[in-house]
Structure 1
Amino acid sequence: MTTGLVFGKFMPVHTGHLALIEFARKQCDQLIVSMTISPDDVISPDLRLQWLTELLAPYSTIEVVAETNEFHDPTLTLWDATKLWAAFIKRRFPDVSVFFSSEEYAVPLAHHSGLQHVSFDPPRQQVPVSATLIRQQPACYWDYIPAVVRPYFVKKICLYGPESVGKTTLARQLAADYQTVFVPEMAREMITSNDFVLDDFIRIGRAQTEAVQQAERQANRILFCDTDVITTQIYSDIYLSQIPFILPELEQQVHYDVYALLDIDVPWIADDLRDQGHHRAEMLARFRAELDGRKLPYLLVSGSYPERLITLKNMADKLLGSD
């Protein structure tokens, strides 16, 4: 029985890794995919292991493991470092007889370990990507990111501010222009009046959070969100003079790359739920103060609706690396 080994940081796992793993799987009776964990990893080991496990679950001959890089020493030469790697592999994976890689360390590692090395596409012509490139410019390499990994790299813009400033209209238009999805304001789908009880705001906060998390799995590079859970907290305070403890917890579950604070220099448009038209300036100040207090990045977006759309597109392009 042939037991093979593929190892790496998989930060993140991408289609190049999956091609390597598939290449190795076809040549082994059993394949160990070992994810290396180092102190300076910029993506959570738990999340990376979750991605790998989910992607490789269909293959009964593949075992996914995570191993701490106990021999991490950047001062060592490649030759000396691979001596340590070789000793670790022989101790941790004694049944392995062959390893597969595309990296330059393979030659000295094979020498020190005595294991057979099978090279896979070293110039990376089959899948021209690397984890570093994906981390630097995920939008440019989107097609190389597996679906399970994509939510991590989705850029999120929150359209934020008082009533009647164009959040819904702009979110819908931006989603169409960027061929992606948007998250609506869930409160408008859940309430019919402004006669609230505390549980209403809890339900709204949960629904808004879940809607973002669901939309992340469908988004194409970028996600536009009409409002957020900070907004839910503001209105809970305004209508009931209290904020349910769970709302700040829900707020922490979603990270927005930038907030677009929409100015009030557009006409007020009344409807059955909007009732703060006589406090627009105070509301804008409250919304801004919440961002300032949290030290969250934001841009005040003013002007006509076409001007706002241009500003928001510039913001989106900058996030996507195409400015």
Structure 2
Amino acid sequence: MYKNAMVIGKFYPPHAGHAHLIATAAAQAERVSVLVLGSRFESVDVAERTRWLEEEFSGDAGVQIIGMRNDCPEDYASDEIWKAQSELMRLALKTHGVAAIDAVFSSEDYGSRLAVAFDAEHILVDPARSTYPVSGTLCRDDLTAAWPSIIAPARLQMCTRIIVVGAESTGTTTLARALTDYYRPRFPSIAEVPEFGRQYTYEKFDALRANQPDARLEDMVWTAADFGVIGNRQNGMENAAADTCPLVIADTDALATTLWERYYLGERSFGSFAAAARLPRRDLYLLTDHEGVEFEDDGWREGEHRRSEMTEWFKETLTEEGHSWILLTGDPDRRMRTAIEVIDAILAQRHCFTSPPWATRTVLEGAAV
């Protein structure tokens, strides 16, 4: 059993191979320091990668994740660059209470030289990537194909989330389904994220009718607890979809639930606020305009006279909370084209991983790169 082990890497992004390496080190050492080395030239900040790994290993007290900014050039042939790199690592360890290490765990050939620099033993772990055939390069080259191999905390935050919201009978469900179908050839694992509040309404009304067979829709009594359940379940459905696909298109979310709570219970009632507060990062809200859309009463809707007010609430809330949002107007085809244009642009940006200018010359990656 080693006393202090070290694992280094970019973890750009962190994947199952990285997790296997860290877990292997943790099984053989009392303490493992994982150095996350991130450059300013990379499009995912080192602080984010550090948080994802912290969450992944939150149950292992012997693993500490240390984020370290590293803009030093990479050159395996240069003794001077090797010293510059190792000194960054030494100081990262020192400032976190680690004076010395006795083992370096890696899946790379450079690990032996790194171990010499720290007067430690090198333990080579699965250099052929046979246990987890994935690498950072593969993830960056094809994020969609590599998605299942990326660690869960990273998937939840790296996922592109498009949320469709709007007042009653403004085409939100139709648009969300159309967009999901449009992107399915590119993202085969994309899942529909329907409005849970509608299903909850059906169930709530059925329960009321079981006791009061003549009850009508307007006889239902809504509570803050109801909206808390809806908001939490909506979050869960959205996150489940993000876990399986790098693109989520959701028909409403917990933030919208707070507005429906306001609609039914009044200005000061926010029982679903806790669910909305836990929302992951959103890339874009698509707000369907009520103007030009005929109200269709399917027997469950009762807000035709308040559609304008609800649309304004959405505009105000999304603006006040700093979200990116677009008001979709015009016929269904125009709305669809507007949505696709901006979603394509977001995906192009989100799926592009920038690298330091010297990365094409040599790459200093962690194990299972």
Gap runs ≥5 in structure 1: 58-62
CA contact (8 A) 2:13 2:49 kept: no
Q: Is structure 2 residue 102 aligned with structure 1 residue 96?
A: yes
Q: Measure how far apart 1:259 and its partner are.
A: 0.3
User: What residue in structure 1 maps to residue 8 of structure 2?
Assistant: 8
CA contact (8 A) 1:190 1:204 kept: no
Deviates more, 1:233-242 or 1:156-165: 233-242
Q: How far, CA to CA, are the matches of 2:315 and 2:2 in structure 1?
A: 62
Residue pairs, 1:9-28, within 5 angstroms? 10=11, 12-18=13-19, 20=21
TM-score w.r.t. the length of structure 1 is 0.73
Q: Is structure 2 residue 226 aligned with structure 1 residue 207?
A: no
Q: Is structure 2 residue 60 aligned with structure 1 residue 34?
A: no
Deviates more, 1:259-268 or 1:307-316: 307-316
Q: Percent identity between the aligned chains?
A: 24
Residue pairs, 1:34-53, within 5 angstroms? 34-36=33-35, 41-43=46-48, 45=50, 47-52=52-57
Q: How far, CA to CA, are the matches of 1:14 and 1:204 in structure 2?
A: 36
Q: How far, CA to CA, are the matches of 1:103 and 1:319 in structure 2?
A: 37
User: What residue in structure 2 maps to residue 129 of structure 1?
Assistant: 136
Q: How far, CA to CA, are the matches of 2:69 and 2:151 in structure 1?
A: 28
CA contact (8 A) 1:260 1:299 kept: yes
Deviates more, 1:279-288 or 1:121-130: 121-130
- Quick one: structure 1 residues 309 and 128, their matched pair in 2 at CA, closer, same or farther if it must change by over 3 Å? same
Deviates more, 1:209-218 or 1:78-87: 78-87
Aligned Cα root-mean-square deviation (Å): 4.2
User: What residue in structure 2 maps to residue 188 of structure 1?
Assistant: 198
- Quick one: structure 1 residues 230 and 143, their matched pair in 2 at CA, closer, same or farther if it must change by over 3 Å? closer
User: What residue in structure 2 maps to residue 302 of structure 1?
Assistant: 329
Q: Is structure 2 residue 109 aligned with structure 1 residue 82?
A: no
CA contact (8 A) 2:16 2:150 kept: yes
- Quick one: structure 1 residues 210 and 29, their matched pair in 2 at CA, closer, same or farther if it must change by over 3 Å? closer
Which of 301, 314, 335 is the equivalent residue of 1:274? 301
CA contact (8 A) 1:161 1:284 kept: yes
User: What residue in structure 2 maps to residue 257 of structure 1?
Assistant: 283
Q: How far, CA to CA, are the matches of 2:5 and 2:247 in structure 1?
A: 36
TM-score w.r.t. the length of structure 2 is 0.66
CA contact (8 A) 1:5 1:34 kept: yes
Q: How far, CA to CA, are the matches of 2:295 and 2:222 in structure 1?
A: 28
Structure with more relative contact order (C-alpha pairs < 8 Å, separation 6 or more): 2
- Quick one: structure 1 residues 217 and 6, their matched pair in 2 at CA, closer, same or farther if it must change by over 3 Å? farther
Q: How far, CA to CA, are the matches of 1:47 and 1:189 in structure 2?
A: 33
Q: How far, CA to CA, are the matches of 2:70 and 2:115 in structure 1?
A: 20
Deviates more, 1:230-239 or 1:117-126: 117-126
**Count of residues in Structure 1 that have an aligned counterpart in Structure 2:** 307
Q: Measure how far apart 1:147 and its partner are.
A: 4.8
Q: Deviations over 1:257-303 (max 9, x none)?
A: 11001112222211223222234333322321222222211011122
AA matched with 2:296: I
User: What residue in structure 1 maps to residue 240 of structure 2?
Assistant: 217
Q: Measure how far apart 1:310 and its partner are.
A: 3.2
CA contact (8 A) 1:110 1:116 kept: yes
Q: Match of 1:158, SS?
A: strand
Q: Measure how far apart 1:229 and its partner are.
A: 3.0
- Quick one: structure 1 residues 295 and 6, their matched pair in 2 at CA, closer, same or farther if it must change by over 3 Å? same
Q: How far, CA to CA, are the matches of 2:103 and 2:257 in structure 1?
A: 58
- Quick one: structure 1 residues 238 and 214, their matched pair in 2 at CA, closer, same or farther if it must change by over 3 Å? closer
Q: How far, CA to CA, are the matches of 2:70 and 2:150 in structure 1?
A: 30
Gap runs ≥5 in structure 2: 39-44, 73-79, 206-216, 352-369
Q: Measure how far apart 1:164 and its partner are.
A: 0.6
Q: How far, CA to CA, are the matches of 1:150 and 1:203 in structure 2?
A: 29
AA matched with 2:114: L
CA contact (8 A) 1:183 1:212 kept: no
AA matched with 2:8: G
